Structure 1
Amino acid sequence: MRKNIHPNYRTVAFHDTRMDTYFLIGSTVETNQTVNRDGKEYPYMAIDISSASHPFYTGEQRSHDGEGRISLFRRRYRQSK
């Protein structure tokens, strides 16, 4: 392998800000922030959503409060006979 062309692969602390959960994952992400976890200092990356907060993984269902787009279109552009 050629030297000095590969990104720095290391363990990074990803922080799900919605659930206040930390994940220690190997990554090449570039960040200047650090955080202390379990007595060690890791590079820190804040994320908005992860498997701890995503509705698909948590089982939360979203409810839709109205009609679908097709029924709204048909009602709006209904032809009178």
Structure 2
Amino acid sequence: MQQDKQPDYRPVVFRDRTAGYAFLTRSTAKSDRTIDWDDGETYPVVDVEISSESHPFYTGKARTVDSEGRIDRFERRFGGGEQGSGGGKDG
């Protein structure tokens, strides 16, 4: 295997700034910024928009969609429901 064609696989810190959460792992991701980690070493840091600490599915803070309220609002706005609610074309 040619060494110059392989990406550099090294320790990298991924940081979710919205949740205040960071974790150290190994990656080929590149970054110009660095961070001083708990072990006293300096590692490249990659900021991510979302992680398991801030994702609604993993945190249990998922919003439920009020589909009934949306349907009522649509019918009030566009006057649905009373006339042919068959869903198909009328002949």
Interval containing the TM-score (normalised by the shorter chain): 0.7 to 0.9
User: Which AA in structure 2 matches 1:61?
Assistant: A
Post-superposition offset of 1:64: 2.9
Superposed CA deviations along residues 49-72 of structure 1, whole A, max 9, x for unmatched, are 10011011111121335315xx93
Residue 34 of structure 1 corresponds to 34
Farther off after superposition, 7-16 or 59-68: 59-68
TM value normalised by structure 1: 0.80
- Count residues with an aligned counterpart: 77
Bigger strand fraction: 1
Unaligned runs of 5+ in 1: none
Would you tell me which structure has more helix in proportion to its own residues?
Answer: 2
1:4 lines up with 2:4 in the alignment: yes
Greater RCO between the two (CA within 8 Å, min separation 6)?
A: 1
RMSD: 2.1
Identity, in percent, stands at 38
Q: Which digits, 9 at most, give the CA deviation of each residue in 1:29-68, with x for residues without a partner?
A: 1111110011110001111110011011111121335315
